[in-house]
Amino acid sequence: MHIVEIADIITGNGNFTPLDVRSEGEFLQGHIPNAVNVPLLNNEERRQVGICYKQKGNKAAVLLGYELLGGKFASIIREISQLFPHQKITLHCWRGGLRSRIVGQLLENMGFDVYIIQGGYKQYRQWVLKSFDEAFAVKVIGGLTGSGKTELLHLLRASGGQIIDLEGLANHKGSTFGGIEQWPQPTQEQFENNLSQVILQGDRNEAFWIEDESRRIGNICIPLQLWDMMRSSMLYEIELSYAERLNRIMKEYTELPREKLREKTSLLKKRLGDKKLSEILQFLDHGDMKSWAMELLNYYDKNYAFGQDKREAIKRKKINLENKFSVANFLQSLNE
């Protein structure tokens, strides 16, 4: 068996697809992007071994682990062989310890060329957290609700620009209504792993376009280093008419399940007050989606204005895209 440094995995040297032999629960909590999970011990088996370790010590826990594996070795190797037919495998567990060595030895006996990641997933996580301290530049796209910030971000990527799509990584659109009909959010840990991978694959000599966000996106928090960078970087604010923004909001939200919209609207009770909330919910219940959207647009406009007043005026540039929403017009306006 060979030992490979985590840097080789991070930079993609050798085009490795890591094999993660930790339990499915550990993998769900956080893993190296693109890794494949084949647990040596599943969640329940790992729990039993952990209890045994605390009560009887390491030797007894290791013995129990082997007993639990029993005849599973053949099925584990068979599954791995199907996933990695090329006979070269890079694997890891939590710290590159016993689980990695057990699976590695089995695979080596089967003729596989085996590489174990030094320090395992724990070492990878340390790298992820440190990666946010490394310098890179961002350009922030802002604007009132309904200004098409996310659409412009995706258009910039399609035209060759490099972006960080925080909402895409978080599986959430950022507002109170942002989680409706979205995939479940990743864990905070996995969000950070995926985010660091996007930054790694980009060019740090070129700025990343990124959408202006609150620090929290649903249940996910933007790493403080990136958040501070976003708040101190140049903000390019898209300007569209109220009517155009309202039209965008109507298209995006009014086809969503009515009961979900009602549930999320009710979460604004503390900020809207009982009377205003009741009025807005009546619009929703009566199918007056335009009035519902107008009330919420007014609410979010006030919140946006309050937040942006804290930014330095010299680091804000307004980009008017009224009736000319395109990447070309946006980029042209940057230098005007």
Residues 6 or more apart whose Cβ sits within 8 Å of residue 64: 48, 49, 52
Catalytic residue check, 52: no
Contact 236, 317 (CB under 8 A): yes
Within 13 Å of residue 42, how many CA atoms lie on the same side as its CB? 5
Residues 6 or more apart whose Cβ sits within 8 Å of residue 57: none
Residues 6 or more apart whose Cβ sits within 8 Å of residue 122: 94, 95
Residue of 6, 9, 93, 272 with catalytic role: 93
**98 C-beta neighbours (distance < 10 Å), count:** 15
Amino acid at 275: K
Contact 20, 178 (CB under 8 A): no
Q: Which of 163, 139, 132 is nearest to 225 (CA)?
A: 132
Contact 215, 175 (CB under 8 A): no
The Cα-based distances of 277 to 11, 43, 180, 268 in angstroms read: 51, 45, 20, 7
Q: How far apart are CA 220 and CA 234, in angstroms?
A: 24
Per DSSP, the three-state class of 239 is: strand
Q: Which of 141, 138, 140 is nearest to 325 (CA)?
A: 141
Provide the token pair at 206.
């070129």
The residues that are catalytic are: 93
